Amino acid sequence: MSTHSKLYRRLNRHILLTFMLMTISFLLFGILTLDLVRVLTLNASYIVSNGWSGLMDGGLQQFLELCGSALGAMAFYVLFKLCEHVMTDRLSHIRRE
């Protein structure tokens, strides 16, 4: 009985698809995290300096969108790490049963 998920087994069978997915997830992670910390810092600074009116003028909406970007980036990072694990196992000839 295999302890790996269906996704892991599918990625292990289709190594070219895994490599393409790994590349795409790497690029999307990079795009989503580009300047994320700087923009979050600026957003927090804007909210602190303007208070409630800063939140109502779009500071809260921007903060929530930035949190969504961070969550999306983490999802792509996890997908990248899964693909990396599959590729590493496959290339090092680790076979688990």
What the block records as the tokens of 40 is 């979050």
| Whether residue 2 has pLDDT greater than 70 | no
Kindly calculate the radius of gyration of the chain based on its CA atoms and give it in whole angstroms: 19
With contact defined as beta carbons under 8 Å apart, do 95 and 61 qualify?
Answer: no
pLDDT of residue 54: 85
- What distance in Å separates the CA atoms of residue 27 and residue 72, rounded to the nearest whole number? 12
What would the mean pLDDT of 70-92 be, rounded to a whole number?
Answer: 94
Contacts of 34 (CB under 8 A, 6+ apart): none
pTM: 0.81
